[in-house]
Structure 1
Amino acid sequence: MGSEVWLEAPLKSRLLRIEGGRSPDLPDTPAAAGGWGVLKVSAVHRSGFRPGENKEVSDVALVDERYEVQAGDLLISRSNTPELVGSACIATSSSSRLLLSDKTLRLVVDQELADARFVNFSLSGPALRSQIENAASGSSRSMQNISQLSIERLMLPWPPIAEQRRIVGVLDAVSVEEDSIGASIAKIHAVRQGILLSSMPLDAQAVPLEGWVRFPLKVVVPSTDYGISEALVSDPQGMPVLRMNNIRDGRVDADELRYCPTSVPDRLVLRHGDVLFNRTNSIEHVGKAAMWKDDLPKATFASYLVRLNPDLRQITPEYLVEWLQHPLIRQRVKAISTVAVQQVNVNPTRLRDLEIDLPISLDEQRRIVSSLAACDDRIRCEEEELAKLRQLKTGLADDLLAGRPVGAGRS
């Protein structure tokens, strides 16, 4: 069906009402199963409903069941960052009883005229996102708001209700495949975690396994290096510099680089096998580590990172990275961290005082790492497939929601 026969009308024309809740002052602790919680703005996301993003309501006097969220509700956030304000999703069931806040709205759709799922897909499309971003306001660019009146005035093309449901069916079929790949990735992550915990049992109270040794990390990491502290530039002048955001869980992300316009000492140029440790960041990201694998022809690293120099006769760089990413070691790293101006810091000297358990045999270290790398390869393949599917879904949604024949060129 062509878009020329679709009526364009404001969202209000297809709504019975818009409902909003309240936001009492509550601690940032999620509700236990069966308990009451108030939704945070982060619960409403274009990727789907996030029921765990809520604040527990322990005082029943604050509970107004009129604002309880039901599975199938169409929700929209009226306050968030510029990229996320106006995000919409369909609520799913939850183990907690969740309430709307004053920043999460429920759009009650007239079911004779519109399908809530069609409205949800439309609100994530480029045409509506552009309208939402233009209508949003706020004194801070980091937090924007969109009024209920502006939401009501959003203009959508409205196909007949039967066509809306057909479009939803097509997009839902892609979403099912998307969810399947996501579940597969989560399962491989769980398998990897199981391999890591069983292959590297790091119980500080137990005697090391036969063929393993335990001593301070500084025995196998005799020295460390801080990165450069020079002012960096965005233009690709000089040598690429890795920073905090380039260190992911066990890997280097060579995107969003900055550059050092001055000369860099040869000793600070990265070599294959260098282990980089994120010594300062937020509590979630401090302690992340990765091995440099010549991802670029030449690069160096910023002073936010520290390079650990392992004794290759005793430990492989790959094993060192896996040890640093082990959940128990991440906890120990956080325990020795200090906080300064909302930034968490780890002193490399204190890090090197932590005890490490490792197999004496380098071949055994390599075997453990190889098992984990096999999981990483599978995860990477699944993530690539998921990215392709999402790109296909975006193009498909753009065509369907604009009434274009699927695959038609866009002007």
Structure 2
Amino acid sequence: MPDEKRLVYYRLDSLADISGGIALGGISPSGSSVELPYLRVANVQDGYISTRNVKKIFIPMRLVERFRLMPGDVLLTEGGDIDKLGRGAVWDGRIDPCLHQNHVFRVRCLEAKLLAEFLALYMASPEGKGYFLRIAKQTTNLASISSSQLSAMPIPCPPVAEQRRIVEMVSAVSRQERVVKASIAKLQNLKKGAITDLLKADSGKVSAGSNGDPKANDHAIDRAEGWPIRRLIDVADLPVGQVDPRSEPYRSRILLAPDHVEPGTGKILKRETAEGQGASSGKYEIQPGDVVFSKIRPALRKVALVDFIGICSADMYPLRPGKDILSGFLFSTLLGEHFSRYAENVSGRTGIPKVNREDLAGFFLPLPPIKEQQRVVEIVDSFSDQERSLDRELAKLGNFKQGIVDELLSSRVSF
């Protein structure tokens, strides 16, 4: 990596040309005009440009070159929600001609001084994002930066050859990350299919009664291998009463919310105390072995098997398995196709899809003996173990990639 005497920070406007985009409604077509595609904030994602939904605008021919994007331009959002602040990527020229809206900055690097990929890498780093957060104009949940603030952004500028080496190293790690992510996605699909096969339900067929009420059904389920059909409320307890997350010991305990659970996998993405989340409304107590299900938008399949003492959002139902059902089997059941279809069926009666307590209690499931449940749990766990191993590999790659940037910035000298 560069030594201390070589790494110097420069203002961005000394390394690149910075321009705002075309203001919608701000230009009246006159004379010879043309309709062209343009990129807006929704198209500029963190690390890539999405062109799945590109809109068009009429613009005078004389202004096309002013707002036209070139391959290698770095596009950055001026703000909006906090997560959109300074979000950006390098444009690859897949659409030409293509313009950019005024809420998207265009940075055209002077190639003899600064590589576009290196700039994008730095802006996405903690230090780069930290700069945007420090200088942004902020209101409630919104933030924005100006062209002058972007122009004054200090950019580390090692020799171009060193920039290229860093970009190539990070790109190589990114390619490995994509391979691992593809393996994780494939494994998750295999796990989903295995759960459906192992539970031996007939894809969750639920026939509605003559009045169209999905609860008035015969719960058509294959009774493979003679498994009895049991009502959920008979094998697991639903929560009774709520606790105040502002008082101890609850304020210091982990608060699980729907946003903390990855859809369709059961993976808990975030663990934070009630105090850290500023919780104030009533919550349910949870303990190891409980299976927590998000009752809002059940199609997302947000189900988690708890391994800690804590509390959960009132938008979730914690189920406590009884003696006839294993926690892991209940978890697989609620994550499976049969329950998912049932939940989607009974949740569509209101504006926001929601499973109420009565619906959840009335769900029927095939329940094998404990020994057979254990077999199901072990097979599903084997998929989960492989997934956790890949997650660790992905985390290592992410840490290594960040380490490359950190090592570069550790030799910072001046602005």
What TM-score do the two structures reach when normalised by structure 1? Answer: 0.73
Distance in structure 1 (CA, Å) of the matches to 2:334 and 2:386:
22
Structure 1 residues 247, 63: closer, same or farther in 2, change over 3 A? farther
Question: What's the secondary structure of 1:396's corresponding residue?
Answer: helix
Higher percent of residues as strand: 1
Structure 1 residues 284, 394: closer, same or farther in 2, change over 3 A? farther
Q: Name whichever of 250-259 and 120-129 sits farther off.
A: 250-259
Share of identical aligned residues, percent? 21
Question: What's the secondary structure of 1:4's corresponding residue?
Answer: coil
Structure 2 equivalent of residue 363 of structure 1: 371
Q: CA deviation at 1:43?
A: 4.7
Q: CA deviation at 1:386?
A: 1.9
1:217–1:352 CA contact under 8 A, matched in 2: yes
Q: Name whichever of 165-174 and 377-386 sits farther off.
A: 165-174
Structure 1 residues 150, 197: closer, same or farther in 2, change over 3 A? same
1:227–1:307 CA contact under 8 A, matched in 2: no
Structure 1 equivalent of residue 360 of structure 2: 351
User: Quick one: which of 304, 315, 329 aligns to 1:290?
Assistant: 304
1:241–1:257 CA contact under 8 A, matched in 2: yes
Question: What's the secondary structure of 1:112's corresponding residue?
Answer: coil
Matched, 1:10 2:11: yes
Q: CA deviation at 1:381?
A: 1.5
Structure 2 equivalent of residue 187 of structure 1: 186
Matched, 1:230 2:253: no
1:286–1:345 CA contact under 8 A, matched in 2: no
Distance in structure 1 (CA, Å) of the matches to 2:5 and 2:142:
37
Question: What's the secondary structure of 1:364's corresponding residue?
Answer: helix
Q: Deviations over 1:215-234 (max 9, x none)?
A: 5734644642235242425x
Q: CA deviation at 1:390?
A: 1.8
Distance in structure 2 (CA, Å) of the matches to 1:336 and 1:72:
50
| Count of equivalent residues | 373
The residue identity in structure 1 corresponding to 2:113 is L
Matched, 1:329 2:330: no
Distance in structure 2 (CA, Å) of the matches to 1:384 and 1:242:
24
Over the residues paired in the alignment, what is the CA RMSD in angstroms? 4.1
1:22–1:100 CA contact under 8 A, matched in 2: no
Question: What's the secondary structure of 2:253's corresponding residue?
Answer: strand
Matched, 1:318 2:341: no
Distance in structure 2 (CA, Å) of the matches to 1:4 and 1:252:
45
Matched, 1:80 2:80: yes
User: Quick one: which of 306, 313, 321 aligns to 2:317?
Assistant: 306
Distance in structure 2 (CA, Å) of the matches to 1:6 and 1:119:
14
Distance in structure 2 (CA, Å) of the matches to 1:198 and 1:68:
53
Distance in structure 2 (CA, Å) of the matches to 1:116 and 1:337:
48
Structure 1 residues 241, 86: closer, same or farther in 2, change over 3 A? closer
Structure 1 residues 128, 241: closer, same or farther in 2, change over 3 A? closer
Unpaired segments ≥5 residues, structure 2: 26-35, 207-219, 276-283
Q: CA deviation at 1:291?
A: 2.8
Question: What's the secondary structure of 1:186's corresponding residue?
Answer: helix
Question: What's the secondary structure of 2:117's corresponding residue?
Answer: helix
Distance in structure 1 (CA, Å) of the matches to 2:321 and 2:58:
59
2:289–2:320 CA contact under 8 A, matched in 1: no
Distance in structure 2 (CA, Å) of the matches to 1:217 and 1:319:
14
Structure 2 equivalent of residue 137 of structure 1: 137
Distance in structure 2 (CA, Å) of the matches to 1:109 and 1:290:
47
Structure 2 equivalent of residue 391 of structure 1: 399
Q: CA deviation at 1:327?
A: 4.8
Structure 2 equivalent of residue 263 of structure 1: none
Question: What's the secondary structure of 1:105's corresponding residue?
Answer: strand
2:195–2:380 CA contact under 8 A, matched in 1: yes
Q: CA deviation at 1:83?
A: 4.8
Structure 1 residues 2, 77: closer, same or farther in 2, change over 3 A? same
Q: CA deviation at 1:100?
A: 3.8
Matched, 1:121 2:121: yes
Distance in structure 2 (CA, Å) of the matches to 1:270 and 1:161:
55
Q: CA deviation at 1:114?
A: 1.9
Q: CA deviation at 1:204?
A: 0.6
Unpaired segments ≥5 residues, structure 1: 25-35, 260-267, 406-411
Question: What's the secondary structure of 1:258's corresponding residue?
Answer: coil
Q: Deviations over 1:345-371 (max 9, x none)?
A: 431111222343x25344333323322
User: Quick one: which of 275, 285, 290 aligns to 1:274?
Assistant: 290
Structure 2 equivalent of residue 175 of structure 1: 174
The residue identity in structure 2 corresponding to 1:372 is V
Structure 1 residues 88, 275: closer, same or farther in 2, change over 3 A? same
User: Quick one: which of 390, 393, 412 aligns to 1:382?
Assistant: 390
The residue identity in structure 2 corresponding to 1:398 is D
Q: Deviations over 1:150-204 (max 9, x none)?
A: 2122121322222221222232233233333223222222322332343345241
